[in-house]
Amino acid sequence: MMADTPPRLILGSASPRRLELLAQIGIVPDALRPADIDETPRKAEPPRDYVRRMAAEKAAALDLVEGEALLTADTTVAVGRRILGKPADRDEAAAFMRLMSGRRHVVLTAIALRHGSRTALRLVETKVRMRSIDPAALERYLDAGDWQGKAGGYAIQGAAAAFIPWLEGSFSAVVGLPLSETAAMLGAIGIHPKIKEDAR
């Protein structure tokens, strides 16, 4: 392999959102290999430590061959020291939304990039404010089912956008992948966007 040949990019995720986000900046992975790990938080584990550990464990869980680089990520929602994972059911989703209603929370996304013997890790923190949600609006939201499979019980690019007037940090990190930081990490190992000219 020539030294200037960029590595093949493997995305260690089954998330369609992460794939769409990468496509937005002109990066298409060569393969998808979702990492299957235990995502249970440790007792009293701080949210920042938890999300870093998840990204790193996903990166370590997969086998690579020479010439491959692996990108993994993990996103979680935290209210204080409490980690809000993916709600198990409607009642838990409702409890999460009530907890965040009318206050700020933090969305933490960790990205890990494994290439050769090294794994680079980056944590991106975004502050999000959710307005007060009245009971009728909450019921309509829960009925729509948009909370399913989402950390904290919501997706900022979905119906819950109606509840979020303000954020400070990276919007794409709240969706699931901080694009500026990811592009910089990939660029450092020779993987650059393939920007297509606008067809207009």
Active site amino acids: 74
Check: CB of residue 15 under 8 Å from CB of residue 51.
no
Report the distance separating Cα 111 and Cα 136, nearest Å. 37
Report the distance separating Cα 149 and Cα 160, nearest Å. 14
What would the DSSP string read from start to end of 85-135?
Answer: -S-SSHHHHHHHHHHHTTSEEEEEEEEEEEETTEEEEEEEEEEEE-----H
Place of tokens 């059911």: 89
